Structure 1
């Protein structure tokens, strides 16, 4: 992971040489570390100033809209970060029994402890997520740090059509595109069919027709 911070071009070369594991658009096996690495390098290359994702987010979103949120937590601010406490096996099983959508995960883990889900889960450990040097690494899909107020403000802007006062955060067209799934197929690590969009996955909610959840 440190290569992402110190040598992003090397990581980019590795990622671009990785061949697809299945025909694109037919399935997915999401993992925060690799997903963020791909997206962040694409954004950096598309940005005219070629800024890293943490700098781009800070200058284009966090500062202009006064949102207390950052991608990657500088070591001098590590005291503000809550510690990550992973589920123990007993707590995981208790939650799984109460949640039908998790039953398939448990079955897959029991039948094949070395499957994609296990490998993906083992890659993100408490040691990594609580290490100040690791937390400093900017990966948009896994190293976001912010306050509850900052998150509420961000989603409040989105719920208000992407505007805050006279400032436009995202266009209506962009917000609409975020609610439109781009791929419906089998999740090879979670099991079952899922709907995926632009950095989002979509699940049913008893209160509303479609619940958009960031993954």
Structure 2
């Protein structure tokens, strides 16, 4: 959906094609090159929900795909949108007034996404959009994600890799959701599914490496503290 008036009263659908949507996001960012990209809100019309109740790791898969994992100014690995308190909401259900029909259309708004320029990452927005569509049609989000926000905030401050079982569950549900929607060929679902999986595994490797580095630092700090204790005791306990 696209806002078409300044008071943000009316909206129109942008496109039903995720390929077109991904390309339009890219072109819009390139067109305003002097403006630093910040956040992206994607609204998908609500036409039904799936049956699987999402757990924390399912939402973390979304953050890995479309959030902003990286190092902050202190060199700490963070999901910077949540950890930086940039968000007022993560996923919301809203009603937008249609410009032509004068009726309100219910949409699911994904507001946690980071807007990035083409080339900043080794993937574009197509796998992200497809994952969101599969998520919406595969999971039952009647309670939104308010019950998982605290867990998401904790993970954003100290992100850790997800178990392979969590990624497999997410991928299976997203695929089922896309099949349930019935808007794409099986071949397209499989192809984009491979890309989504590759992105998740790549981020998981980054997080695993970051976790090992943090553990090494903690071990080093503990070793220094132990050394200081030994040096303090040395005059008291001569050999």
Using structure 1 for the length normalisation, give the TM-score: 0.27
Larger radius of gyration: 2
Using structure 2 for the length normalisation, give the TM-score: 0.25
User: Comparing both chains, which one has the higher relative contact order based on Cα–Cα distances under 8 Å and sequence gaps of 6 or more?
Assistant: 1
